């Protein structure tokens, strides 16, 4: 199925006890303010001026600190299927997106975005 996707965010996952200090650090390190991401209080975005990729700080319920990547797409099912064909595996659906594992065992997410946010100039079209 024809769809778009692009690598959109670097996500820093941290336990609840480290979340505020991690946000403060990355806000100061980038010189950018952070803002809560929509209706999900566990996510805070730091807009990176002049960058095509974003930085998110995610508060984990539990687990060790880590970093993962987010792929945004206008068709989650098509993108997940495409990535499975390359060797990725589905781990868990959360809200409207999928947590997946790449062939090396690293986590990443496939996240839906409105079709109008994609074009041939800002994303890869898959046929």
pLDDT in tens, 82-123: 999 999 999 999 999 999 999 999 999 999 999 999 999 999
pLDDT at 61: 84
Taking the C-alpha atoms of residue 62 and residue 1, their distance in angstroms, rounded to an integer, is 37
**Which residue, 93, 97, 79, is CA-closest to 38?**
97
Taking the C-alpha atoms of residue 98 and residue 110, their distance in angstroms, rounded to an integer, is 5
**Which residue, 99, 8, 88, 74, is CA-closest to 47?**
8
* Residue extents of the structural domains in the chain: 3-121
The CATH number of domain 3-121 is 3.10.180.10 = yes
């Amino acid at each position: 199925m024809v769809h778009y996707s692009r690598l959109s965010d670097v996500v820093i996952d941290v336990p609840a006890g480290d979340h505020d200090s991690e946000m403060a650090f990355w806000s100061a390190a980038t010189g950018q303010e952070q803002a809560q991401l929509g209706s999900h209080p566990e996510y805070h975005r730091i807009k990176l001026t002049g960058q095509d990729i974003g930085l998110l700080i995610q508060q984990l319920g539990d687990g060790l600190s880590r970093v993962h990547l987010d792929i945004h797409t206008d068709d989650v099912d098509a993108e997940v299927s495409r990535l499975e064909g390359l060797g990725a595996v589905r781990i868990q659906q959360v809200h409207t997106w999928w947590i997946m594992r790449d062939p090396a065992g690293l986590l990443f997410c496939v996240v839906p975005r409105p079709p109008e946010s994609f074009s041939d100039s800002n994303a890869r079209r898959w046929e």
